[in-house]
Amino acid sequence: TLPDRPLLEVKDLKRHFGGVKAVDGASFSVPEGSITGLIGPNGSGKTTLFNLIDDTIRAESGEIWLGGERIDGKPSWSRAHLGLGRTFQITRLFREMTVLENVVAVQRSFSVSGLGRIAVSGKEARAAEELLEFVGMRDFRDQPARALSFGQQKLVELAQILMLDPKLILLDEPAGGINPVLIDRMGEMIRELNSYGKTFLIVEHNMPFVLGLCNPVHVLGRGRTMASGTPDEIKSDPAVIDAYLGD
Ligand code: ADP
């Protein structure tokens, strides 16, 4: 059983785009130490929520709390400093930099142009190599990122985000577009990181993956949280089944 203390709390968050109510009063929390799932049909507002949480965009109203601090007015670097990390649906590696450079560069994202080579100190390189070892990508450390498969890029991006030692990691479709073996490995890595104390919020379309890994699971529909519960509760919720069949 998990402690009830929320690490992340989203309260009545709203963000419209013209007439589109992308996020329309969403409220949910991510318990500290949990692997929390966020599911919902296409267009239900999942990506917009992630963008609001990490300050890619700002909300019109509502509140976001991280570890007892209100963050919705804070810039992204400050949210990162408070322990927020995020990966993207489409990875954002510097294509011409090596795998190792990419992992190191995340710590200096404001001074790296992505054009040249970067000087990597022994200490940084050791930390980065350890993380690459963890995700199974150490052998690729000197390869340019552009030479990697999509799945390999996702692994490097996970190592990259871990370099910042976040408390809460937002994962955008970690199982999307990768092969079944890697999907299983991704699940194992998330579990292992969780056992070391990392909390996760995961957006994912692969239902077996979410329902096997996440608890609690929140369901979004039209920008609102329409259900929250354990995987078993979610699986048997008629409103959830309806929403998915209607997708
Ligand atoms: P999901 O990730 O659940 O598929 P999104 O958050 O991407 O949902 O989108 C929610 C709704 O908001 C959709 O109708 C989408 O078209 C709309 N939307 C998202 N971002 C923008 C934007 N920048 N401009 C206009 N509409 C947007």
Domain match, 155 and 128 both? yes
Q: Are residues 110 and 139 located together in one domain of the fold? A: yes
- Domain hosting 52: range is 1-83+166-247
Tell me the pTM. 0.92
- Are residues 124 and 17 located together in one domain of the fold? no
Distance between CA atoms of 121 and 104, rounded to whole angstroms? Answer: 9
Bridge partner residues of 63 (DSSP): 11
CA-proximal residue: ligand 1, atom 14 (nearest): 43
**Based on the domain organization, do 73 and 175 belong to the same domain?**
yes
74 and 116, same structural domain?
A: no
Q: Same domain, yes or no, for 232 and 112?
A: no
Residue 179 lies in a domain: yes
The pLDDT of residue 122 is 80
Q: Give 49 Cα–ligand 1 centroid separation in angstroms.
A: 10
Say if residue 67 is in the same domain as residue 103: no
Count CB atoms within 10 A of the CB of residue 219: 23
Which atom number of ligand 1 is nearest to the Cα of residue 42? 4
**Which of 131, 149, 164 marks a domain boundary?**
164
User: Does residue 25 contact residue 223 with C-beta atoms inside 8 Å?
Assistant: yes
Mean pLDDT, each 10-residue run in order, the chain (247 residues): 80 96 97 97 95 95 96 94 84 86 75 53 87 96 94 94 95 94 96 98 95 96 95 90 66
In a domain, 88, yes or no: no
Residue 233: predicted pLDDT: 95
Long-range contact pairs involving 24-29 (C-beta distance under 8 Å, separation at least 24): 24/222, 24/223, 24/224, 25/62, 25/223, 25/224, 26/62, 26/220, 26/223, 26/224, 26/225, 27/225, 28/218, 28/225, 28/228
Domain end (from 164, 187, 216): 164
**How many angstroms is it from 16 CA to the middle of ligand 1?**
9
Residue from 14, 16, 47 whose mutation best tests the ligand 1 pocket (most atoms within 8 A of CB):
47
* Atom from ligand 1 closest to the CA of residue 223: 10
Q: How many CA atoms lie within 13 A of 30 on its CB side?
A: 27
Asked if 65 and 116 sit in the same domain, the reply is no
- Mutation test residue for ligand 1: of 14, 15, 17, the one with most atoms within 8 Å of CB: 17
Q: Of 164, 182, 206, at which residue does a domain stop?
A: 164
β-pair type (224-229, 84-86): unpaired
Cα 9 from Cα 108, distance rounded (Å): 28
> 15 and 65: one domain?
yes
Residue nearest atom 6 in ligand 1 by C-alpha distance: 45
What pLDDT is stored for residue 65 in this prediction? 98
Based on the fold, state whether residues 10 and 125 are members of the same structural domain: no
The count of domains in the chain is 2
Same-domain pairing of 21 and 57: yes
| 209 Cβ contact partners less than 8 Å away, ≥ 6 residues apart | 175, 183, 187
Ligand 1 atom nearest residue 48's Cα = 6
Residues 96 and 19: their CA atoms lie apart, in Å, by: 40
Number of other CB atoms surrounding residue 81 within 10 Å: 12
* ipTM confidence: 0.97
Looking at residue 111, what is its pLDDT?
A: 42
Same domain, 146 and 174: no
Ligand 1 pocket (Cβ < 6 Å) reads 17, 20, 22, 40, 42-48
Output the pLDDT for position 112.
Answer: 42
